[in-house]
């Protein structure tokens, strides 16, 4: 018997107390937990909660009006001194107008990892954000790029539109496509491994800056 057959066989034998006619949906799963919605998606309340929660976990947060996004992106990067800035394909051109074109790398053609490691920062959009948990969700869509781009550079500047902010975890799951590789980011990289105390900044970007367009 091969391993697959044998494991499946063992499972079926182990479950001989389960009635033969039982279907998965016959085992009740009560979903009485909150589906969110206390703060409607995109509302000022949701945006404020997101800003507060992101900040609590060590991200820096700026609320910006649509016409100020470009200059705020420029400022965030200018403060970092020299070094290139990765801006993935699909990032709105009007938001990068204040960046020095000589510093911008677009990942076209694909950047070698060593080059990513030398880049000073990455500027992206997001797919969605969860206010309650202070989470930004990336799905590799336009303006976000492949996963390595938002991982290797030490500074991640992330532009979030207010309309992308939902209140709760359940709300975001209905909006996401599981086929795409997803990354949920809640604050800069951190560890609790030394005496279970939280320290920010290990392998992922040590600086996370969120610009929320309101």
Partner 1 sequence: MNDATFLGMPAFPTAAASALRDSQLRGNLARATGTIRSRRAAAVAEQDDWEQLREAGRAVKERTLRHLDRYLLQVEEKVTAAGGKVHWARDAEEARRIVVGLVQDTGEREVVKVKSMVTQEIGLNEALADAGIDAYETDLAELIVQLGQDQPSHILVPAIHRNRAEIREIFLRSMGAYGTAAPADLDDDPRRLADAARRHLREKFLRAKVAVSGVNFLVAETGTAVVVESEGNGRMCLTLPETLISVAGIEKVVPTWQDLEVFLQLLPRSSTGERMNPYTSTWTGTTADDGPRAFHLVLLDGGRTNALADPVGRQVLNCIRCSACLNVCPVYERVGGHAYGSVYPGPIGAVLSPQLRGTTSEVDRALPYASSLCGACYEVCPVKINIPEVLVHLRARIVEEGRERLVPKPERLAMAAARWVLSRPSRLTAAQRAGALAARLVARRGRVGRLPGPLSRWTDTRDVPVLPAETFSAWWKGTHR
Subset of residues 72 to 131 that bind partner 1, contact rule: CB under 8 A: 110, 113-114, 117, 130
Number of residues binding to partner 1, judged by CB under 8 A: 74
The full length of the chain comes to 214
Cβ distance to partner 1 smaller for residue 46 or 69: 46
Contact 63, 188 (CB under 8 A): no
Among 21, 67, 101, 179, binds partner 1 (CB under 8 A): 179
Pairing of β 121-125 and β 155-161: parallel
Residue 184 sits at the vertex; the CA angle it makes with 182 and 187, to the nearest 5 degrees, is 150
Query: What strand order describes the sheet that includes 60-64?
Result: 60-64, 207-213, 155-161, 121-125, 85-86, 104-105
- Which structure tokens are listed for 75? 């400022």
* Residue 76 DSSP one-character state: H
DSSP β-bridge partners for residue 104: 85
Contact 188, 203 (CB under 8 A): no
Site string for partner 1, 14-43 (x = CB under 8 A): xx-xx---xxx--xxxxxxxx---------
Cβ distance to partner 1 smaller for residue 27 or 67: 27
Judged by CB under 8 A, the chain residues 133 through 162 that form the site for partner 1 are 133-135, 140, 146-148, 151-152
Q: Least distance to partner 1 from the beta carbon of 41, Å?
A: 15
Q: Least distance to partner 1 from the beta carbon of 85, Å?
A: 20
What distance in Å separates the CA atoms of residue 95 and residue 61, rounded to the nearest whole number?
17
Site string for partner 1, 180-199 (x = CB under 8 A): xxxxxxxxxxxxxxxxxxxx
Q: Least distance to partner 1 from the beta carbon of 68, Å?
A: 28
Q: Least distance to partner 1 from the beta carbon of 22, Å?
A: 7
Part in contact with partner 1 (CB under 8 A); list of ranges 12-20, 68-76, 77-85, 98-106: 12-20
Q: Least distance to partner 1 from the beta carbon of 30, Å?
A: 6
User: Residue 104, Cβ neighbours under 10 Å: how many?
Assistant: 15
Cβ distance to partner 1 smaller for residue 44 or 191: 191
- Which structure tokens are listed for 36? 């969110």
Q: Least distance to partner 1 from the beta carbon of 28, Å?
A: 6
């Amino acid at each position: 018997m091969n391993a697959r057959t044998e494991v499946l066989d063992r499972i079926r034998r182990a479950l001989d107390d389960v009635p033969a006619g039982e279907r998965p949906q016959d085992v009740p799963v009560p979903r009485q937990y909150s589906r969110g919605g206390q703060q409607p998606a995109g509302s000022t309340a949701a945006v404020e909660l997101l800003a507060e929660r992101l900040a609590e976990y060590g991200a820096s947060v700026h609320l910006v009006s649509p016409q100020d996004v470009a200059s705020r992106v420029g400022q965030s990067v200018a403060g970092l001194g020299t070094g290139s800035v990765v801006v993935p394909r699909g990032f709105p051109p009007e938001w990068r107008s204040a960046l020095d074109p000589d510093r911008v790398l677009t990942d076209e053609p694909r950047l070698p990892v060593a080059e990513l490691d030398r880049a000073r920062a990455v500027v992206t959009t997001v797919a969605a954000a969860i206010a309650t948990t202070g989470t930004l969700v990336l799905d590799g869509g336009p303006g976000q790029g492949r996963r390595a781009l938002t991982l290797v550079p030490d500074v991640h500047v992330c532009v979030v539109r207010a309309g992308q902010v939902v209140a709760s975890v359940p709300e975001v799951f209905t909006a996401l496509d599981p086929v795409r590789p997803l990354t949920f980011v809640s604050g800069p990289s951190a560890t609790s491994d030394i005496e279970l105390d939280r320290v920010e900044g290990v392998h992922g970007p040590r600086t996370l800056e969120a610009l929320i367009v309101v």
